[in-house]
């Protein structure tokens, strides 16, 4: 690993106390910290005087008045309460759906009776979870019973060593937690670098739960996300049940978030950045959206809190570690928001930060070592900070693509917040976006595009996959608008096909150098996005082979992530609807029938009842019906798919 210390890679100067990005000189005298008062008492409000926020406040004590606070008039506390209540309802909804699809009619009847008796949300959710626990296979209820370990688990040597205590109540196995944190920093961290690794690890090892840089909520967000990438037996809430991957850590995250109540802190923001996309891939995308929509509020409140504290002389937030961590978390939040909205086709609510980028100057050419843990493989030198800068540039383009995805013509009456533009204007904007993407790719530094003969670091691969995903989205939108056959349509078609072919070459490169287990979120999403437009080109020479490589990659991911199984089922339904099975290779048909027919149980559609992952086939044709995975799979559950 690199011997560079964090002090050498931080921004040269940036403080949140200055709008122009320059750090204000520190005063030699620290002013007393003025407490921020969220709401004043009723007497002080009526008299229009300053209130210290204490109960009772000092003014009322001095004047002998009754001191009454009406916390319902505190808009921010009310908003946080509403978010907590919304989260509880989403959790209850998921628990009820899980229990209905997984238990017998008697248990379901008891649950329905409880609902009709107007029980509280907490009582309904608790009862549903009790049903699930009681119906779990024998031996699955107690995670500590999982004692049969693979040879890989027994010989595992995590590069990061940390303790489970005091960070999580799910396990006390230090080796398992060390494994999971190591997996997280290997495969997910550079996708959304919400923390500075060295600062976080140091704080986690210290074991101080009041640290600014590590908290139980943040750690469990990492452990939950690491469940996406690890096949360790303890990543499953129930033994050998892939549908329960990460469910126990999701419950722990929910418990800890209810304690935090949306508190504006750095670790809460970092946790939300890490958590949101991972929850979506675990089919908890409604819950993921609830968390994601809290990020803009948290960013605003945290920024105000930090500025207010610094203005009043507090030294809590002026350390270089905190300032650097805040910068990185804020830009990573923007990056995650863009990706979430791009995948789920939702409007952007967290916009580009106005603060300086986290890495500048010499930081961009610094190198670190990466290896494909837990697989034994060679260390690869890469440029993490230069790649992050390129990712932030790419997400700025992505932020401008999202409004075009959601736009409509003036006669369509787009939903509030969506832009209304003509097809000609939309095509012009798409041309401009494609030119920006082309320039971005042409200006990539050489270290971002390694030779196809070399073993890459995953962050290098991911950067290229995200780029091609964006290009496919833009070309798909062009094809949707270019209804007449002409040069513009042909250009879009060829450009889309080139990106799909480039993606297949990247997949083959990764499998050859890193192995078939090296798949992350951005190894799956471009494949899912590429598969749908290829369906319209299967009659052209060579496209069936390209499509086969795409399906092989999704099939590989489906062994780990159930969401990928749902995508294969959606694709197979679309292929049958369009009656284009005869255009597929025989091996492609065999993969579909294995995953989407033979291994698909009669009730498997219920695994996706609350899943709103897009059905891109419907969206591509301006369709509103069956635009979500859950809707499509529910409808087709009544038909015999062969």
Task: List pLDDT tens digits, range 526-572.
Answer: 999 999 889 988 888 889 999 999 999 899 888 888 888 999 999 99
Domain co-membership, 57 together with 123: no
Domain co-membership, 97 together with 172: no
Domain co-membership, 466 together with 547: no
Cis peptide bond upstream of 154, omega within 30: no
Residue 31 lies in a domain: no
Residue 213 lies in a domain: yes
Domain co-membership, 259 together with 296: yes
* % of the chain exceeding 90 in pLDDT: 36
What total number of domains does the chain contain? 5
Of 475, 510, 545, the residue that ends a domain is 510
Contact residues for 257 (Cβ-Cβ < 8 A; gap 6+): 87, 217, 291
pLDDT reported for residue 16: 38
pLDDT reported for residue 516: 67
Residue 12 lies in a domain: no
For residue 488, the enclosing domain spans 359-510
Q: Taking 80 as the threshold, does the pLDDT of residue 100 lie above it?
A: no
Residue 472 lies in a domain: yes
Q: Taking 70 as the threshold, does the pLDDT of residue 183 lie above it?
A: yes
For the beta carbon of residue 443, count every other beta carbon within 10 angstroms.
Answer: 10
Domain co-membership, 528 together with 624: yes
Per-residue pLDDT, averaged over 165-180, amounts to 95
Domain co-membership, 165 together with 66: no
pLDDT reported for residue 266: 95
Domain co-membership, 64 together with 79: no
Query: With bands split at pLDDT 50, 70 and 90, how would you rate the model's confidence at 225?
Result: very high
Q: Taking 60 as the threshold, does the pLDDT of residue 469 lie above it?
A: yes
Whole-angstrom distance, CA of residue 424 vs CA of residue 419: 14
Q: For residue range 245-273, what is the model confidence (pLDDT) as tens digits? A: 898 999 999 999 988 877 899 999 999 99
Report the run of H or E that residue 425 belongs to, with start and end: helix 423-442
Cβ(99)–Cβ(126) below 8 Å: no
pLDDT reported for residue 239: 77
- Higher-scoring residue by pLDDT: 290, 398: 398
Per-residue pLDDT, averaged over 208-223, amounts to 96
- Higher-scoring residue by pLDDT: 481, 43: 43
| Coil vs helix vs strand at 382 | strand
Residue 23 lies in a domain: no
Residue 13 lies in a domain: no
Of 355, 387, 411, the residue that ends a domain is 355
Domain co-membership, 409 together with 477: yes
Identify which of 403, 359, 405 has the alpha carbon closest to the alpha carbon of residue 383.
359
Domain co-membership, 589 together with 482: no
Q: For residue range 20-40, what is the model confidence (pLDDT) as tens digits? A: 333 444 344 444 444 445 678
- Higher-scoring residue by pLDDT: 552, 520: 552
The pair of structure tokens assigned to 373 is 């843990």
Residue 10 lies in a domain: no
Per-residue pLDDT, averaged over 298-303, amounts to 91
Length of the chain: 642
> With the C-alpha atoms ordered 120, 123, 127, 129, is the resulting torsion angle positive or negative?
positive
pLDDT reported for residue 19: 36
- Higher-scoring residue by pLDDT: 262, 302: 302
Q: For residue range 336-364, what is the model confidence (pLDDT) as tens digits? A: 999 988 888 888 888 899 888 888 778 88
pLDDT reported for residue 471: 95
Domain co-membership, 338 together with 196: yes
**In this structure, what CATH number is given to the domain that contains residue 54?**
4.10.240
pTM for the model stands at: 0.77
Whole-angstrom distance, CA of residue 533 vs CA of residue 547: 10
Of 510, 530, 548, the residue that ends a domain is 510
pLDDT reported for residue 624: 47
Whole-angstrom distance, CA of residue 573 vs CA of residue 567: 10
Domain co-membership, 437 together with 543: no
Identify which of 319, 359, 355 has the alpha carbon closest to the alpha carbon of residue 334.
355
- Higher-scoring residue by pLDDT: 446, 621: 446
Average pLDDT, rounded, for the chain: 81
Q: Taking 50 as the threshold, does the pLDDT of residue 91 lie above it?
A: yes
Residue 55 lies in a domain: yes
pLDDT reported for residue 17: 38
Q: Taking 50 as the threshold, does the pLDDT of residue 140 lie above it?
A: no
pLDDT reported for residue 101: 60
Domain co-membership, 376 together with 456: yes
């Amino acid at each position: 690993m690199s011997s560079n210390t964090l002090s050498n890679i931080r921004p040269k100067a940036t403080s949140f106390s200055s709008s122009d990005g320059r750090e204000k000189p520190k005063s030699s005298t620290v002013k007393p910290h003025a407490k921020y008062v969220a709401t004043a008492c009723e007497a002080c409000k009526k008299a229009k005087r300053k209130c210290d926020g204490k109960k009772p406040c000092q003014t009322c004590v001095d004047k002998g008045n009754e001191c009454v606070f009406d916390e319902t008039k505190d808009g921010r506390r009310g908003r946080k309460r509403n978010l907590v209540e919304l989260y509880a309802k989403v959790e209850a909804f998921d628990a009820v759906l899980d229990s209905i699809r997984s238990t017998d009619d008697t248990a379901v009847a008891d649950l329905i009776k409880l609902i009709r008796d107007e029980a509280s949300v907490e009582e309904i959710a608790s009862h549903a979870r009790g049903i699930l626990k009681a119906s779990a296979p024998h031996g699955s209820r107690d995670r500590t019973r999982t004692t049969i370990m693979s040879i890989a688990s027994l010989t595992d040597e995590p590069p990061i060593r940390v303790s489970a205590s005091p960070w999580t109540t799910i396990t006390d196995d230090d080796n398992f937690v060390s494994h999971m944190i190591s997996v997280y920093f290997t495969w997910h961290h550079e996708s959304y670098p919400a923390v500075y690794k060295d600062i976080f690890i140091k704080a986690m090892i210290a074991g101080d739960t009041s640290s600014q840089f590590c908290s139980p909520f943040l750690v469990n967000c990492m452990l939950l996300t690491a469940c996406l990438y690890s096949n360790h037996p303890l990543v499953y809430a129930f033994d050998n049940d892939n549908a329960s991957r990460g469910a126990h850590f999701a419950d722990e995250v929910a418990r800890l978030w209810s304690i935090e109540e949306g508190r504006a802190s750095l670790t809460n923001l970092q946790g939300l950045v890490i958590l949101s996309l991972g929850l979506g891939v675990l089919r908890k995308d409604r819950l993921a959206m609830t968390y994601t929509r809290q990020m803009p509020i948290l960013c605003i409140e945290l920024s105000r809190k930090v500025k207010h504290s610094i203005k009043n002389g507090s030294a809590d937030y002026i350390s270089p570690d905190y300032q650097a961590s805040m910068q990185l978390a804020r830009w990573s939040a923007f990056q995650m928001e863009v990706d979430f909205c791009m995948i789920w086709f939702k409007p952007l609510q967290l916009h580009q930060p106005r603060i300086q980028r986290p890495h500048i100057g010499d930081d961009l050419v610094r190198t670190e070592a990466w290896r494909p843990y837990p697989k034994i493989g060679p260390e690869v030198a890469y440029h993490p900070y230069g790649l992050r800068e390129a990712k932030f540039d790419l997400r700025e383009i992505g932020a401008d693509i999202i409004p075009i995805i959601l736009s409509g013509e003036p006669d369509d009456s787009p939903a509030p917040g969506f832009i209304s533009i003509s097809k000609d204007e939309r095509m012009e904007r798409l041309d401009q976006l494609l030119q920006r993407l082309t320039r971005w790719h042409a200006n990539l530094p050489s270290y971002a595009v390694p030779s196809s003969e070399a073993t890459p670091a995953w962050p290098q691969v991911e950067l290229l996959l995200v780029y091609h995903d964006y290009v496919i989205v833009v070309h798909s939108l062009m094809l949707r608008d270019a209804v007449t056959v002409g040069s513009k349509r042909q250009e879009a078609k060829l450009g889309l096909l080139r990106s799909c072919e480039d993606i297949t070459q990247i997949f083959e490169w990764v499998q050859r150098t890193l192995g078939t287990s090296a798949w992350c979120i951005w190894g799956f999403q471009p494949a899912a996005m590429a598969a749908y437009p290829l369906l319209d080109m299967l009659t052209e020479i060579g496209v069936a082979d390209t499509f086969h490589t795409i399906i092989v990659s999704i099939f590989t991911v489906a062994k780990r992530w159930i969401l990928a199984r749902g995508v294969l089922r959606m694709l197979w339904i679309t292929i049958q609807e369009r009656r284009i099975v005869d255009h597929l290779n025989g091996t492609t048909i065999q993969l579909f029938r294995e995953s989407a027919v033979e291994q698909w149980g009669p009730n498997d559609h219920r695994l996706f009842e609350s899943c709103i992952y897009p059905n891109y086939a419907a969206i591509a044709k301006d369709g509103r019906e069956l635009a979500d995975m859950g809707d499509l799979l529910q409808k087709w559950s009544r038909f015999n798919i062969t």
